[in-house]
């Protein structure tokens, strides 16, 4: 008995930690397959049988990981939301000015949007979720809105962003970003990083106060003269 | 017999033209109610019984106007698409420069997006439509894309718009516009017209060549000098 304890036979079961990890990996594999199918065929057309088939398992085996199809849909959303929130937390901890923060948010959100889990934030219908889950997604959406509005407000306060209608500006920026989830196809002309870099500048161009465009230092009187001359 | 023909008894049936009009009105009333319900509850949750109930008719009566729930969903989309295409045709016939055309397109599309039928262009899942109808919606989406890209291309050619990636620019603008269909609530702070006016400027600000910023007429040689002076 003691010998067995000291030098144990190899167990056919994995140690607990590895088992937990394997389980998490399998769970995520189910979500990755499910989100692909939901995006390809629409949530209502895609069946759990299709998901199971692609994974070489049976439909009942899916219920080891998820309670229902709706549960899977919600978890796909949660994967995308978690990625966005992780990036927001990271970015907000950098203490850059408002414009730089906003550009980092645009960049990060664009990259997530170009992924399947990211697209699930905008391509599925929240009405297909349970009421409790609908509330959670709504709260998640608000946190994203708040991060973007916060950066814009901060930018106006620290003069890196021109005064503007904060809500409408955030809607315009988030709209352009969310649309990526609809049009982006992997393997297209532009990589997610290229789109992200472009959008970070493009979507903030009209509200950014360009630091290098500052007129050269002049006395106010001179400025007035040159302007009135130009008008004539 | 002749007397009857000359001065007929009033018929309990409406004349053909009025009947056709009444039928069209009823058909559109069904669509207006259906689109509201689909937007409120999601296409799959909303039932044709709900639609019929709101209209004080029976579900079978709906089948006088539409073949199926899918048919209704498609016709809601078609109402929105038709409005957009009517406005595009109108705008394209004005022969303004590229920037002005683009701004008119943004304005018109924003107003449609703030309507129920407009929102149906972006809030429903095309996967819920028949294959033939999916193809039609895809073609419709392409016509909208083409109109926006065309205006941008025209603007670059006529120098009202700065050289830019046409596709990405159109995606960014259309994304911001499509998002209106998700966030706009009637009776909010801003009217559809106010949002449209704001977006027409906002979404084109970074690519517009401002006509009033043109440098005053100078000979090319002078221009060169002033530029090289500035560089020093």
Give the domain CATH number at A35: 1.10.10.60
Indicate yes or no: CB of B125 within 8 angstroms of CB of A179.
Answer: no
Phi, psi torsion values for B161, nearest 5 degrees: -125, 140
In a shared domain, residues A60 and A85: no
- Here the CATH number for the domain that contains residue A133 is 1.10.357.10
C-alpha A75: how far from chain center:
14
In chain A, whose CA is at the least distance from the CA of B215?
A230
In a shared domain, residues A89 and A138: yes
The pTM (predicted TM-score) of the whole model is 0.83
- Report the alpha-carbon distance of residue B231 to residue B214 in Å, rounded: 19
Q: Answer whether residue A201 is part of any domain.
A: yes
More confidently predicted of A77 and B44 = A77
- Report the alpha-carbon distance of residue A46 to residue A40 in Å, rounded: 8
In a shared domain, residues B112 and B187: yes
Binning pLDDT at 50, 70 and 90, where does residue B16 land?
confident
In a shared domain, residues A109 and A29: no
Q: Which pLDDT does position B87 carry in this prediction?
A: 98
Q: Which pLDDT does position B24 carry in this prediction?
A: 86
In chain A, which stretches have pLDDT less than 50? 1, 3, 219-232
In chain A, the number of structural domains is 2
Q: Answer whether residue A49 is part of any domain.
A: yes
In a shared domain, residues B46 and B130: no
In a shared domain, residues B57 and B84: no
Q: Answer whether residue B30 is part of any domain.
A: yes
Q: Answer whether residue B8 is part of any domain.
A: no
Q: Which of A126, A179, A185, A195 to mutate to test the interface with B (most CBs of B within 10 A)?
A: A179
Residues 6+ apart with CB under 8 A from A22: A14
Contacts of A45 in chain B (CB under 8 A): 127-128
A34-93: per-residue pLDDT in tens? Answer: 999 999 998 988 999 999 999 999 999 999 999 999 999 999 999 999 999 999 999 999
Reference A34, options A135, A110, A120; nearest CA is: A120
> How many CB pairs below 8 A link A and B?
90
Q: Are A223 and A231 in contact (CB under 8 A)?
A: no
Average pLDDT over residues B189-206: 95
In a shared domain, residues B89 and B182: yes
Q: Which pair of structure tokens corresponds to residue A168?
A: 């409408």
Indicate yes or no: CB of A172 within 8 angstroms of CB of B203.
Answer: yes
Average pLDDT over residues B67-83: 96
Q: Which pLDDT does position B71 carry in this prediction?
A: 96
- Report the alpha-carbon distance of residue B79 to residue B28 in Å, rounded: 9
In a shared domain, residues B156 and B178: yes
Residue B160 has pLDDT above 80, yes or no: yes
Q: Are B172 and A199 in contact (CB under 8 A)?
A: yes
More confidently predicted of A15 and B54 = B54
Binning pLDDT at 50, 70 and 90, where does residue B182 land?
very high
In a shared domain, residues B107 and B135: yes
Q: Which of B42, B175, B195 sits opposite A125 (nearest CB)?
A: B42
Contacts of B171 in chain A (CB under 8 A): 176, 179-180, 183
Q: Are A23 and A13 in contact (CB under 8 A)?
A: no
Report yes or no: A195 at the B interface, CB cutoff 8 Å: yes
Reference A73, options A119, A114, A113, A128; nearest CA is: A128
Q: Answer whether residue A208 is part of any domain.
A: yes
In a shared domain, residues A39 and A85: no
In a shared domain, residues A153 and A107: yes
In chain A, whose CA is at the least distance from the CA of B201?
A206
Q: Answer whether residue A220 is part of any domain.
A: no
Report yes or no: B133 at the A interface, CB cutoff 8 Å: no
Q: Are B130 and B193 in contact (CB under 8 A)?
A: no
In a shared domain, residues A110 and A173: yes
Report yes or no: A179 at the B interface, CB cutoff 8 Å: yes
Residue B64 has pLDDT above 80, yes or no: yes
Q: Answer whether residue A7 is part of any domain.
A: no
Domain of residue A57, residue span: 14-66
What is the complex's ipTM, to 2 decimals?
0.81
Q: Answer whether residue B231 is part of any domain.
A: no
Report yes or no: B173 at the A interface, CB cutoff 8 Å: yes
- Report the alpha-carbon distance of residue A34 to residue A40 in Å, rounded: 10
């Amino acid at each position: 008995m003691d010998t067995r304890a000291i030098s144990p036979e190899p167990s056919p079961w994995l140690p607990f930690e590895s088992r937990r990890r394997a389980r998490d990996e399998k769970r995520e594999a189910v979500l990755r397959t499910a989100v692909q199918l939901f995006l390809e065929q629409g949530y209502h057309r895609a069946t759990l049988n299709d998901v199971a088939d692609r994974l070489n398992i049976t439909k009942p085996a899916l219920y080891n990981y998820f309670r229902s199809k709706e549960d899977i849909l919600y978890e796909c959303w949660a994967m995308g939301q978690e990625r966005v929130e992780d990036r927001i937390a990271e970015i907000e901890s950098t203490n850059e000015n408002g414009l730089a923060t906003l550009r980092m948010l645009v960049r990060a959100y664009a990259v997530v949007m170009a992924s399947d889990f990211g697209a699930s934030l905008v391509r599925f219908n929240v009405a297909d979720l349970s009421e409790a889950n609908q509330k959670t997604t709504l709260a998640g959406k608000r946190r994203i809105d708040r991060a973007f509005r916060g950066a814009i407000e901060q930018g106006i306060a620290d003069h890196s962003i021109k005064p503007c209608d904060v809500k409408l500006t955030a809607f315009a920026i988030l709209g352009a970003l969310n649309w990526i989830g609809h049009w982006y196809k992997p393997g297209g002309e532009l990589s997610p990083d290229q789109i992200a870099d472009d959008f970070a500048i493009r979507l903030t161009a009209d509200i950014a106060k360009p630091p290098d465009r500052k007129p050269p230092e002049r006395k106010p009187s001179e400025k007035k003269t040159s302007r009135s001359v130009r008008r004539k």
